[in-house]
Structures are given as C-alpha cells and as structure tokens.
Chain A
Amino acid sequence: MGLKKPYLDVPGTTVFDADQARAGYWLNQFCMSLMESSNRTRFLADERAYLDEWDMTNEQKQGVVDRDLNVLIGLGGNIYFLAKIGATDGRSFQQIAGSMTGMSEDAYRAMMVAGGRSPDGNRYLHEWSGSL
C-alpha cells in the first residue's frame, strides 16, 4: 500500500513532496546557485550556457528560459527555489506568485488588496473541473 497523498485533490496546487523533490533535484540546485551574485551575472549573460552546466532535463531548461513557473513546478521545482530566478530578474515575490495565476500583475495585486482569493470554490479539484 502506497503513501496517502490527500493533497492531490487540491486544485491549482502542487505539494513539494519527496517525489517532486527527486524529479526537481538539479533544477532546484541550479536555482540555489543564483544566491551568489557572480552566478546571477553569469546566468543573465548567457542563460543557455549556464543551464547546460546542470544535469537538468531539456524541459526544465526550457521552462527556466520561458520563466514558466507552473511548468517548472510540475517538473519538480519548489517555489522558494524558483523565486531565486525571479530575484535574479529583479522581480518581487508578488510578481513571481502572480505570474502563475493567469492574471495580469495589476489584477492580481488588486485581488490581494481586496482580501485575496477566496477558499470558496477553490478547495477541491472537482470545483475547478471545466473551468481550466
């Protein structure tokens, strides 16, 4: 009998468990390298060359180049690691988080100021079926 994963039933959400961490190991370790200023500079100068130094899948590398955080989370990335790409680009955490919602930056910010996304209608996968 396998481990229970009740969190698979939460829409628009990927819990970073051991399976995700294994898939995303090198992707996340690449992100960690961006904590050093010299690496940020080198990455921005030639992203492809920098990414090729890491044992990441082509899909992961393309996701980084595209700054597609939803794709990267699906491929094992964790948001606290991925945020270092956003930091390298000079983006705020609100811009980073908002980029995954399909909303414009202004619309996301306005939603937060108005009290955030309600849990109502956002608790279970079946509540989202047909909407995305």
Chain B
Amino acid sequence: MSARISASVFTSHVPAIGAAMDLGKTEEPYWEPLFAGYEPSRSWMSENTPDAIVLVYNDHATAFSLDFIPTFAIGTAAQFPVADEGWGPRQVPDVVGHPKLAAHIAQSVIQQDFDLTIVNKLPVDHGLTVPLSLMFGQPDEWPCPVIPVAVNVVQYPVPSGRRCLELGKAIRRAVEAFDDDLDIQIWGTGGMSHQLQGPRAGLINSDFDNAFLDRLVSDPEALSATPHIDYVREAGSEGIELVMWFVARGAMNDLAGGASPTQIHRFYHVPASNTAVGHLILENAG
C-alpha cells in the first residue's frame, strides 16, 4: 500500500466567516444560509476524515511580508501557530503538521522541477484556518494533521492556473510514492469573485463564478488556461485567488488517466462580507 489522494475540497476562506464563528454569530440571518451550505460538508467530513490534508492557501501579508515572497511554499514543521493578523489571533487550535509526509512531498515535487520554498516557521492566517473551521466546526483540536502549501497571490505576477494545475499533478505523484498507507485530502482555497480595494471594491460576478465551478469539474485543463487579466477584470482583483483551486484539482485521478471524480457537494452564496463564497467536494473513485 501507499498513500493516496481520496478527495479534494474547494472553498473560499473569507476572514469574516471565521469571525462569525468565533463570535457566535452563525445563526444570525446574515450568516445562517452560508453555514447551512456547509452542513452537508461537515457530515461528509465526519465520515471521511483523512489521515492528513494538503491545504493550499495564500498568506495575506502574515508570515510573508515584503521580505520574502515565495511563489510556492510548503510547511514542513511539526506545528503551525495561529497568527495575529492585527485583530488578535483567532481562538482556534494551533495546526499540527505532518513533517514526514511534508518533507517527502517537498523532495519529490522539487525533483519534478517545482522549486518549492521549504518553510519551517509559518504562522498561519485565516486563509488556512477558515477552511478548517468551515469543514470541522469548532473542535478542541483539529482532527488530522495539515500540510500547508502557500501560493503567492498577493504580489503580481502570481503563478498561472496552468502552473498550479501541474503542481497538483506533481503533488499527486509525490503522495502516491509515499510508502505509508495514508488517506490524503487536498484542499484548494480562496476566491471566488471579490475585490477588496479601490473604488471598484465589492465586485461580484456570479456568472463567472458558476461557470468556473462547472468547468473546474468538467474541463479543468482548458479552464486552467484562463489568463490573469480575465480574473482581474471579471472576478475582481482578489478573484485571482481562484488559481489556487487548480492545485487541488490537478491532484485528482482523472488528470492522471483515471476515472472522473464524483461531485459530493456544491454550494454558492453571496455575500460573505465582500466576497462570493464557492464550495465543492470531489471524491476519487474507489
């Protein structure tokens, strides 16, 4: 036996969602529809808790200032503290890593020509903790280890969708070459349409988002060729975060000649604060 990727999860990581949970606002009318959309996900999660999650997210000027801006980075530490982003740290558990698998993935992926930056000191922000909260609720500790994979989407140019898809394929090959019998999920986070800056702030494009959700499932190779300017113009300057979803999608079986994944759940909601929230769960066969 070896390790394998059983499923991919895609979700926005809006900080206000974390704040709503932390402050007990989830049953307010503003938030109730959003959290209702994640109820099926939490049920599925409780029956499909993996041995580890490779969680693709972006750092929002938290661990990476302008001192260092890695395009792709992997967290290989045993533990990742929850960062203070300026409002005080979220009151959620610290994130436990999987140093052995992370080191294996780093070595394998670098040898497949992806120059990952290896990071051992990585305070994690809402980009990583909000997806965990959405999928797991509010446990005293997260139910499984997490390997953070950080993608630069803050300083332009960010990596292309195509490059992200190929990184996902490389991560899949790395996981399958790991000797321990482990059930691994890969999560892609961020998006969907949103713009947080300038007089155009508040842009939402539900047509773009829903077409993206359709094609991410059915035709990810073609979708990954979408140029950056299309995200900026159509989905807002911060909608560019969607490139990170391709890392998770690229790790699924069908992109390595296997069967198409099964769509377990799909959800879309506007708004969470400034942002359109999108969510998918895809399961590999067998």
- Which residues of A pack against B, CB within 8 Å? 6-7, 10-18, 21, 25, 28-29, 31-32, 34-37, 40, 69-70, 73, 78-81, 83-84, 86-88, 90, 92-94, 96-98, 100-102, 108, 111-113, 115-119, 122-124, 132
Decide: A122 near B200, CB < 8 A? Known: A25-B66, A28-B61, A92-B273. Answer: yes
Shortest beta-carbon distance from B216 to chain A in Å:
19
Q: Is the CB of A7 within 8 A of B232?
A: yes
Partner of B201, one of A15, A21, A37, A98: A98
Q: Could you tell me the distance between the alpha carbons of A69 and B197 in the complex, rounded to whole angstroms?
A: 8
Residues of chain A within 8 A (CB-CB) of B234 are: 119, 123
B206 CB-CB contact with A under 8 Å: yes
Cβ contact within 8 Å between B61 and A84 = yes
Identify the closest chain A residue to B235 (Cβ).
A119
User: Could you say which residues of chain A place their CB within 8 Å of the CB of B273?
Assistant: 92-94, 112
Report the tally of A-B residue pairs with Cβ distances under 8 A.
Answer: 161
Closest to A115 in B: B270
CB-based nearest A residue for B69 = A21
- B156 to A112, Cβ gap below 8 A? no
Interface majority SS (helix, strand, loop, mixed), chain B: loop
Docked-complex contact A28 and B66, CB < 8 angstroms:
yes
Q: How far is the CA of A118 from the CA of B233 in the complex (A)?
A: 11
Other than A32-B65, A93-B273, A111-B202, give 17 A-B pairs with Cβ distance below 8 A: A7-B228, A7-B229, A32-B66, A37-B88, A69-B197, A83-B61, A83-B86, A86-B86, A93-B274, A97-B201, A98-B201, A101-B202, A112-B202, A118-B204, A119-B203, A119-B205, A124-B233
Say yes or no: B84 contacts A37, CB within 8 Å.
yes
Q: What residues of B have a CB within 8 angstroms of the CB of A25 in the complex?
A: 66
Are A29 and B86 neighbours in the complex by a CB distance under 8 Å? no
B155 touches A112 (CB 8 A): no
Compute how far the CA of A21 lies from the CA of B61 in the bound complex, rounded to whole angstroms. 13
Q: Mark B2-28, 1 if CB is under 8 A from A, else 0.
A: 000000000000011001000000000
What are 22 A-B contacts with C-beta separation under 8 Å?
Answer: A6-B229, A7-B156, A13-B200, A15-B156, A16-B154, A21-B66, A29-B67, A35-B86, A79-B197, A83-B61, A83-B86, A84-B85, A87-B86, A93-B273, A101-B199, A115-B204, A115-B270, A116-B193, A119-B205, A119-B234, A122-B200, A132-B199
